[in-house]
C-alpha cells in the first residue's frame, strides 16, 4: 500500500466539533470527488491507527482537504487530529471509494455523512450543473450542520435541513424515514446518494426501494 507523509497547511473551524484540514498534495495524487483515503497521525503510537476520511476540496486544488468531526467521548483518531496544529504531519494511503456522481437526483446525508458529497456538490456548482439535484441533510441541531452557509449558497431552496433534537424555524424536524421521503420526493426514478451512520443508510435504502427506487440507482458506500 502506498503511503505519503504530508504536512498540515491550515486548520479552520467549521462547527463546534468539526474542523477543515488542508494538507500538502503529493505529486501525482489523484482522486474522484466522493472518494476517500485512510489517514493517520504521524506521531509515535498513532502511525498505524488509520481511519477513512473523504476529500472535500476539488481534485484540481493545489492541496488536499479533509473535513473531520471530532468524537471526544474516547481518545481515538479524530480526537488526536483535533489537537494537531499547522506543520504537524499526517500519513495518507491509497485512494478508494464507491460514491461518485452518476446523474441528477437526491443527496441524503446524516451528520458527518455529508463529507463524501461536499466535493461532488462543489464540482457540480463550479460546472453549473447543480440545478437538478436536491439535498436532504439530517443533524441533531442547527449548530451541527456542516457548511450550512455554503450549501445554501450553492443549492438555494434545494438544500433542505432537518433536525432530530431541536425544533427551529426554517428547518424540518424529525428523522429522514419512509414517511419523510414519501412526502417530499415526487420522482423515485432518479439517482439517490446516501451517506451517514450504517443503520441510517440501511433504513433509508430499504425505504427507498419500498417506495419504488431501483437498486441500481442507489449510490452508497458498502
What are the pLDDT digits (tens) for 62-114? 999 999 999 988 889 999 999 999 999 999 999 999 899 999 999 999 999 99
Q: Tell whether 80 and 120 lie within a shared domain.
A: no
pLDDT at 68: 98
Q: Give yes or no for residue 1 having a pLDDT over 90.
A: no
Residue 21: domain span:
4-96
Is there a single domain that holds both residue 65 and residue 149? Answer: no
3, pLDDT greater than 80: yes
> Are residues 51 and 133 both part of a single domain?
no
pTM of the model: 0.95
Neighbours of 53 (CB within 10 A): 25
Domain end (from 96, 127, 159): 96
Calpha distance 147→159 (Å, rounded): 11
- What mean pLDDT comes out for the span 188-192? 96
According to DSSP, the β-strands at 36-41 and 89-96 are antiparallel
Integer Cα distance of 85 and 193 in angstroms: 33
Check which CATH number belongs to the domain holding 196 and give it. 3.40.50.80
Whole-number Å distance between alpha carbons of 146 and 68: 10
Last residue of a domain, one of 96, 120, 149: 96
Would you state the pLDDT for residue 22? 98
121 with 212, same domain? yes
- Do 90 and 114 belong to one domain? no
Boundary of a domain, candidates 96, 116, 144: 96
Residue 128 and residue 80 share a domain? no
pLDDT confidence of residue 73: 83
Amino acid at each position: 500500500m502506498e503511503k505519503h507523509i504530508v504536512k498540515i497547511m491550515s486548520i479552520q473551524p467549521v462547527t463546534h466539533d468539526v474542523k477543515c484540514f488542508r494538507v500538502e498534495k503529493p505529486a501525482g495524487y489523484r482522486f474522484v470527488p466522493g472518494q476517500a483515503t485512510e489517514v493517520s497521525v504521524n506521531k509515535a503510537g498513532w502511525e498505524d491507527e488509520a481511519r477513512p476520511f473523504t476529500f472535500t476540496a476539488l481534485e484540481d486544488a493545489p492541496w488536499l482537504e479533509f473535513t473531520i468531526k471530532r468524537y471526544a467521548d474516547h481518545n481515538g483518531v479524530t480526537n488526536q487530529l483535533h489537537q494537531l496544529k499547522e506543520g504537524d504531519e499526517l500519513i495518507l494511503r491509497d485512494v478508494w471509494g464507491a460514491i461518485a456522481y452518476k446523474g441528477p437526483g437526491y443527496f441524503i446525508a446524516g451528520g458527518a455523512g455529508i463529507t463524501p458529497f461536499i466535493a461532488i456538490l462543489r464540482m457540480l456548482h463550479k460546472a453549473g450543473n447543480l440545478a437538478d439535484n436536491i439535498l436532504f441533510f439530517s443533524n441533531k441541531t442547527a449548530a451541527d450542520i456542516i457548511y450550512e452557509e455554503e450549501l445554501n449558497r450553492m443549492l438555494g431552496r434545494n438544500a433542505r435541513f432537518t433536525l432530530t433534537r431541536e425544533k427551529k424555524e426554517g428547518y424540518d424536524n424529525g428523522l429522514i424515514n419512509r414517511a419523510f421521503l414519501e412526502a417530499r420526493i415526487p420522482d423515485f426514478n432518479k439517482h439517490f446518494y446516501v451517506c451517514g451512520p450504517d443503520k441510517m443508510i440501511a433504513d433509508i435504502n430499504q425505504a427507498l426501494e419500498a417506495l419504488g427506487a431501483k437498486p441500481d440507482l442507489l449510490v452508497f458506500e458498502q
